[in-house]
């Protein structure tokens, strides 16, 4: 008997301490200030006209529990937390069972988070798997249970949970998937929606209907087990043919979520924004998004990508004068893939690297007329290492060509000769100067774009060409305010001159020749295919590798870059080579159709000269092709002084 009492005491003391501790915690939580659940962690996104284009957990979209279908409520409780109305935030029996199963299976096969715990995490916390986050979550769970009724907690949860496709809250989800109010959801519709929050990226029927149906079956079986529905209702709901609308009431762009995700990534990097939004009670984020530009970009992309369903594309549209990103595409369709290739990917950039090389060349004495021999060449470097680049389709002039022609045709031999003459560090230094942070290798192949660079980083570098020499910081966020309008962050418009204005102007003129009929000769300029579409003057460069195609171009108002390729790095068919060019041309022309834009003014120390575009020499009456190229005054070719200074030094 004494032994029994001793054993009983051993059990009762920890239980008593546990219960007492819980009472103390709940009392402390009760006397602390009440948490505001309708504004915490809410995100309101505004475009460049200060118009709201997305809101998550917004008061205006909040529906009360009696405005939500009982089918949805029952389905959610069944699959997420069947004892929701019986516990005080933690289901300890469920926790014990989950721990047992996870130990037995040596893997996490079952979780035990209650609806209150999930709500606390969604409202105030990140999803980091740290002990601090778990402790914070537990405390917030106690606070919620202390201050709010079960109905209010469930109401808040259903109004803020993620239902996939950038849709938060059950009213928005009902509208998006089925074009109806939350109160009108059937058992079949409710069981489908209730299954999504467990893994929005996998269980949305618009992403993977097979997995979504399996999840719906799980939900229905749990509803049946919990006696919310009978067997006939369960079978009928599963076999119902659901029709998905997949349309938002406003701004129904499939790529818009890529922009929103990019904004959230940038938000996390701003040090003045608290990691927990508990103190701010919601955020209003003012962005540079131009919905017209985003629409044109998506339309152009969709049109060109119809016949290549497995391929992907990404792109960035930026104002070079302040670095604001006005449109962004991270993939062909956010419904199918949430991976943002504009922000998270690094790809080889091909010949779009060459403009940085040629700026360095112009800065170091080259002119539009500087000649090199375009012919198959093997370069020797280092300790008897060799490099033998090839031109596209192995097309060579087999004669000396001008820098102007080399840019128009994207001649690889000319580029590597220039690179080796200047020294391999010159290109690295120029790229760094304009803000390209990628770690570039000073190797002979660098001007042909063999290094991998992020799209936003790269477009930022091109911004220095578009604004005539200023380094800018690409960004999406203009300003962040809390729910009361207090400014937490505001972007500062700072620019630093890093390039020479006149030299950049000359480079921009040379890059406008990539679609000029004056350069149609032994080869064709690389962007001639889009020349008929262009009604404005642009500086444009295309580039390609076996796995990547890019087109980047600009004028003084906009820089636009477009990438095309495959996530698995498969080789691209040559028939796909024009896709980025067409997307680029269509987007830019649509964007400027109703807008005024112009080209750059000629600097005072720059002069235009009519030359033979291939040889770079002054034009004569015998030349069939003539073109005006630009030079710093004093470096232009004269009739009795051809541009031989550098040629004599460099040789062929």
Ramachandran bin of 594, using left for φ above 0, alpha for ψ from -120 to 50, beta for the remaining angles: alpha
The DSSP annotation for 109-150 comes to ------HHHHHHHHHH------HHHHHHHHHHHHHHHHHS-H
Backbone φ and ψ of 456, nearest 5°: -65, -45
The residue to which tokens 């006696």 are assigned: 227
Question: CB under 8 Å to 594, separation ≥6 — which residues?
Answer: none
**Residue-wise pLDDT tens digits, 85-133:** 887 766 656 656 555 555 556 555 445 588 887 887 776 544 444 555 5
> What's the CA gap between 583 and 303, in Å, rounded?
8
**Residue-wise pLDDT tens digits, 533-551:** 999 999 999 999 999 999 9
Q: Of the ranges 31-45, 167-181, 206-220, 408-422, which one carries the lowest mean pLDDT score?
A: 31-45
Q: Of the ranges 37-41, 87-91, 253-257, 300-304, which one carries the lowest mean pLDDT score?
A: 37-41
Q: What is the dihedral of CA 511, 515, 521, 522, to 10 degrees?
A: 80
Mean predicted confidence (pLDDT) in 576-580: 93
Can you tell me whether residue 24 is helix, strand or coil? helix
What is the arrangement of strands in the sheet containing 477-482, beginning at the earlier edge strand?
52-56, 43-46, 283-287, 477-482, 487-490
Residues paired with residue 371 on neighbouring β-strands, in sequence order? 402
Residue 362, token pair as written in the block: 């112009």
Q: Of the ranges 203-207, 251-255, 309-313, 442-446, which one carries the lowest mean pLDDT score?
A: 251-255
Helices and strands (H, E) in the chain, number of each type: 22, 20
Residue span(s) of the chain under CATH 3.40.710.10 come to 297-650
Closest to 40 measured CA to CA, from 324, 278, 382: 278
How many C-alpha atoms does 327 have within 13 Å on its Cβ side? 28
Is residue 582 pLDDT above 80, yes or no? yes
> What's the CA gap between 365 and 632, in Å, rounded?
10
Is residue 24 pLDDT above 70, yes or no? no
Can you tell me whether residue 204 is helix, strand or coil? coil
**Residue-wise pLDDT tens digits, 595-652:** 999 999 999 999 999 999 999 999 998 898 999 999 999 999 987 544 443 443 333 3
Closest to 290 measured CA to CA, from 584, 529, 53: 53
> What's the CA gap between 132 and 124, in Å, rounded?
13
Question: CB under 8 Å to 372, separation ≥6 — which residues?
Answer: 400, 401, 406, 413, 414, 417, 418, 647, 650, 652
Can you tell me whether residue 325 is helix, strand or coil? strand
Q: Of the ranges 30-44, 92-106, 478-492, which one carries the lowest mean pLDDT score?
A: 92-106
Helix (H) or strand (E) holding 490: strand 487-490
Backbone φ and ψ of 99, nearest 5°: -60, -45
- 161 contacts 182 by C-beta, under 8 angstroms: no
Please give the CATH superfamily to which domain 297-650 belongs: DD-peptidase/beta-lactamase superfamily (3.40.710.10)
Mean predicted confidence (pLDDT) in 264-287: 75
Q: Determine the pLDDT at residue 102.
A: 53
Please give the CATH superfamily to which domain 11-37+68-252 belongs: Biosynthetic peptidoglycan transglycosylase-like (1.10.3810.10)
> What's the CA gap between 192 and 408, in Å, rounded?
55
Residue span(s) of the chain under CATH 1.10.3810.10 come to 11-37+68-252
Instruction: State the Cα angle at 172 between 166 and 174, rounded to 5°.
Output: 115
Q: 161 or 131, which is more confident? A: 161
> What's the CA gap between 103 and 52, in Å, rounded?
48
Is residue 525 pLDDT above 70, yes or no? yes
> What's the CA gap between 625 and 145, in Å, rounded?
81
- 260 contacts 20 by C-beta, under 8 angstroms: no
Rg over alpha carbons for the chain, rounded to the nearest Å, is 31
- The alpha helices in 519-561, defined as continuous H runs, are none
The residue to which tokens 């690179």 are assigned: 419
Please report, in angstroms and rounded to a whole number, the separation of the first and last CA atoms in the chain.
105
Handedness of CA 96, 99, 102, 104 (dihedral sign): negative
Mean predicted confidence (pLDDT) in 450-465: 96
Q: Determine the pLDDT at residue 446.
A: 95
Q: Determine the pLDDT at residue 19.
A: 52
Q: 329 or 166, which is more confident? A: 329
Mean predicted confidence (pLDDT) in 494-506: 95
Residue 110, token pair as written in the block: 């079952």
Q: What is the dihedral of CA 94, 97, 101, 107, to 10 degrees?
A: 40
- 446 contacts 440 by C-beta, under 8 angstroms: yes
Q: Name the residues annotated as catalytic.
A: 80, 351
Average pLDDT value for the chain: 86
- 542 contacts 551 by C-beta, under 8 angstroms: yes
Q: Determine the pLDDT at residue 601.
A: 97
> What's the CA gap between 14 and 65, in Å, rounded?
39
Handedness of CA 265, 267, 272, 277 (dihedral sign): negative
Q: Determine the pLDDT at residue 107.
A: 54
Give Cα 4 distance to the centre of its chain.
65
> What's the CA gap between 585 and 571, in Å, rounded?
24
Closest to 171 measured CA to CA, from 42, 46, 36, 65: 65
How many C-alpha atoms does 80 have within 13 Å on its Cβ side? 27
Closest to 284 measured CA to CA, from 474, 488, 35, 476: 488
Q: Determine the pLDDT at residue 113.
A: 80
Pairing of strands 283-287, 43-46: parallel
Q: Determine the pLDDT at residue 129.
A: 47
> What's the CA gap between 418 and 412, in Å, rounded?
10
Is residue 145 pLDDT above 50, yes or no? yes
Pairing of strands 379-381, 385-387: antiparallel
Q: Determine the pLDDT at residue 219.
A: 96
Q: For residue 93, how many other CB atoms are within 10 A of its CB?
A: 11
Residue 424, token pair as written in the block: 């391999």
The residue to which tokens 């470097």 are assigned: 381
């Amino acid at each position: 008997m004494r032994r029994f009492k001793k054993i009983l005491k051993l059990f009762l003391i920890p239980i008593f301490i546990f219960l007492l501790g819980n009472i103390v915690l709940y009392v402390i939580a009760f006397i602390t200030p009440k948490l505001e659940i309708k504004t915490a962690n809410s995100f309101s996104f505004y475009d460049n006209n200060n118009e709201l284009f997305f809101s998550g957990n917004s008061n205006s979209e909040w529906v009360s529990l009696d405005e939500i279908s009982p089918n949805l409520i029952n389905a959610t409780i069944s699959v997420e937390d069947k004892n929701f109305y019986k516990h005080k935030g933690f289901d300890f029996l469920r926790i014990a069972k989950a721990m047992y199963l996870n130990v037995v299976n040596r893997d996490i096969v079952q979780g035990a988070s209650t609806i209150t715990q999930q709500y606390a995490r969604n409202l105030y916390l990140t999803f980091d798997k740290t002990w601090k986050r778990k402790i914070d979550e537990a405390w917030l769970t106690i606070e919620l249970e202390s201050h709010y009724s079960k109905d209010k907690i469930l109401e808040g949860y259903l109004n803020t949970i993620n239902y996939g496709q950038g849709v938060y809250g059950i009213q928005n989800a009902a509208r998006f998937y089925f074009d109806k109010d939350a109160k009108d959801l059937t058992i079949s519709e409710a069981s489908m929606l209730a299954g999504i929050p467990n893994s929005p990226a996998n269980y949305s029927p618009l992403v993977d209907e097979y997995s979504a149906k399996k999840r719906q079956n799980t939900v229905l079986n749990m509803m049946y087990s919990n006696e919310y529905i009978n067997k006939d209702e369960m079978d009928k709901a599963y076999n119902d043919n659901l029709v998905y609308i997949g349309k938002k009431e406003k701004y129904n762009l499939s790529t818009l979520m890529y922009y929103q995700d990019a904004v959230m990534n940038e938000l996390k990097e701003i040090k003045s924004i608290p990691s927990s939004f508990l103190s701010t009670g919601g955020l209003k984020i003012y962005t540079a998004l131009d919905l017209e530009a985003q629409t044109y970009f998506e339309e152009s992309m969709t049109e060109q990508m119809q016949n290549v369903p497995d391929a992907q594309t990404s792109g960035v549209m930026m104002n070079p004068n302040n670095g604001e990103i006005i449109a962004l595409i991270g993939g062909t369709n956010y419904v199918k893939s949430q991976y943002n290739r504009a922000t998270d990917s690094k790809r080889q950039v091909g010949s779009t690297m060459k403009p940085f090389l040629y700026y360095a060349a112009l800065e170091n004495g080259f002119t539009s007329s500087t000649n090199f021999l375009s012919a198959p060449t093997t370069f020797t470097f280092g300790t008897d290492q060799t490099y033998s680049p090839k031109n596209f389709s192995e097309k060579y002039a087999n004669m000396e060509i001008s820098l102007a022609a080399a840019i128009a045709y994207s001649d690889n031999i000319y580029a590597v000769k220039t690179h080796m003459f200047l020294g391999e560090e010159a290109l690295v230094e120029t790229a760094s100067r304009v803000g390209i942070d990628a770690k570039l290798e000073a190797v002979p192949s660098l001007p042909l774009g063999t290094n991998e660079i992020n799209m936003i980083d790269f477009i930022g570098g091109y911004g220095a060409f578009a604004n005539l020499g200023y380094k800018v910081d690409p960004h999406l966020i203009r300003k962040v305010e809390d729910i009361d309008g207090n400014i937490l962050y505001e972007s500062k418009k700072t620019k630093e001159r890093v390039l020479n204005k006149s030299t950049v102007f000359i480079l921009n003129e040379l890059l406008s020749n990539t679609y000029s009929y004056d350069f149609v000769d032994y080869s064709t300029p690389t962007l001639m295919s889009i020349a008929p579409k262009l009604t404005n003057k642009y500086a444009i460069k295309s580039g390609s590798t076996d796995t990547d195609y890019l087109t980047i171009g600009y004028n003084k108002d906009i820089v636009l870059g477009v990438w095309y390729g495959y996530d698995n790095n498969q080789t691209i068919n040559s028939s796909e080579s024009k896709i980025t060019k067409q997307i680029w041309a269509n987007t830019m022309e649509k964007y400027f159709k109703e807008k005024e834009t112009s080209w750059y003014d000629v600097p005072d120390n720059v002069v235009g000269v009519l030359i033979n575009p291939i040889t770079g020499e002054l034009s004569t009456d015998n030349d069939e092709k003539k073109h005006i190229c630009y030079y710093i005054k004093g470096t232009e070719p004269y009739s009795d002084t051809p541009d031989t200074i550098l040629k004599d030094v460099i040789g062929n």
